[in-house]
């Protein structure tokens, strides 16, 4: 299968990211004319091979600011994939029980089984994003803030993802990069269009006051946690259709790197297969 050139979207490990260098309206040359259906077909084929091989798994980390299209991306990109092989976890504020444990535990409990794709809709990265913009949340985690806490969490997350990769759980990280003006338009649509009213949350609009803070912590997160074993991809999200095609191709590329294969039968299993075949033919 053809692998797309994603280098312009991949955050080079060790680089310093400025989100201003990533255009939310950018359209990759290769994406012009590419239909999402064809990308999903390729993704579904790889997923079937992954399930059959049953030795590796893929964890998809999906991050983005409010209204960046996380839910729609999941719904459309995974639309043609066997639902038995995919699980989606949407993480909200941690519960009182979850707060009694370390911050990574609730994510570790929802890792994919071998042969499976798991999507984290928001993820452990909220612990260096919303918690950083609102450091008062550290109090609920019963953690004291110190000047090194964020660098420590970057290190802990990188080491955890390396551990996952070493144990066959490959990590594909996608950041949906939305412009402030496009977010405003999407919020207005949620207010003006009755069928979208249910999506509206006044708290999301209130968070726009922290736009610059979020852009800063997004950039630092991307700078400190894009690694060789778990790189970040910054996806232009102003055009939903483009974003979905690009995300699908990122996942195809991640699965192509795993290169799962269908199991081959040993001699004994093949003899049993031929015996069964002969028996079925004899019935005819």
Cβ contact 19:215 at 8 Å? yes
- How sure is the predictor about 279, in pLDDT bands with cuts at 50, 70 and 90? confident
Cβ contact 248:36 at 8 Å? yes
- How sure is the predictor about 1, in pLDDT bands with cuts at 50, 70 and 90? low
Q: What's the pLDDT tens digit per position in 57-103?
A: 999 999 999 999 999 999 999 988 999 999 999 999 999 999 999 99
Q: What's the pLDDT tens digit per position in 112-143?
A: 999 999 999 999 999 999 999 999 999 999 88
Q: Which residue carries 């009213």 as its tokens?
A: 197
Q: What's the pLDDT at 165?
A: 98
Q: What's the pLDDT tens digit per position in 5-50?
A: 999 999 999 999 999 999 999 999 988 778 899 999 999 999 999 9
The residue extents of the domains of the chain are 19-283
Q: Which CATH superfamily is domain 19-283 in?
A: P-loop containing nucleotide triphosphate hydrolases (3.40.50.300)
Residue 269 exposed, middle or buried by CB count within 10 Å (0-12, 13-18, 19+): exposed
Residue 83 in 3-state DSSP? helix
Q: What's the pLDDT tens digit per position in 101-113?
A: 999 999 999 999 9
Q: In the predicted model, is pLDDT for residue 266 greater than 90?
A: no
Residues β-bridged to residue 173: 61, 232
- What does R_g of the chain's alpha carbons equal in angstroms? 21
- How sure is the predictor about 157, in pLDDT bands with cuts at 50, 70 and 90? very high
């Amino acid at each position: 299968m053809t692998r797309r050139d994603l280098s312009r979207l991949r955050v080079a490990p060790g680089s310093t990211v400025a989100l201003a260098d990533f255009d939310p309206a950018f359209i990759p040359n290769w994406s012009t004319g590419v239909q999402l259906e064809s990308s999903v077909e390729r993704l579904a084929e790889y997923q079937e091979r992954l399930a059959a091989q049953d030795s590796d798994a893929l964890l998809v980390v999906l991050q983005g600011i409010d209204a960046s299209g996380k839910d729609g991306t999941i719904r459309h990109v995974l639309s043609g994939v066997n639902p038995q092989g995919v699980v989606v976890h949407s993480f909200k504020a941690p519960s009182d029980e979850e707060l009694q444990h370390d911050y990574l535990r609730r994510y570790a409990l929802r890792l994919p089984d071998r042969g499976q794709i798991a999507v984290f809709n928001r993820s452990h990265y909220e612990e260096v994003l919303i918690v950083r913009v609102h450091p008062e949340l550290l109090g609920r985690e019963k953690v004291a803030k110190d000047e090194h806490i964020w660098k420590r969490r970057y290190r802990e997350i990188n080491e955890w993802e390396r551990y996952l990769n070493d144990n066959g759980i490959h990590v594909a990280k996608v950041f949906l990069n939305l412009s402030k003006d496009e977010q405003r338009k999407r919020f207005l649509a949620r207010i003006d269009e009755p069928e979208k009213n249910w999506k509206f949350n006044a708290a999301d609009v209130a968070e726009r006051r922290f736009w610059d803070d979020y852009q800063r912590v997004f950039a630092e997160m991307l700078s400190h946690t894009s690694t060789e074993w778990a790189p970040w991809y910054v996806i232009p999200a102003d055009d939903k259709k483009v974003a979905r095609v690009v995300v699908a191709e990122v996942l195809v590329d991640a699965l192509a790197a795993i290169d799962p294969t269908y199991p081959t039968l040993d001699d004994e299993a093949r003899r049993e297969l031929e015996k069964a075949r002969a028996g079925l033919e004899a019935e005819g």
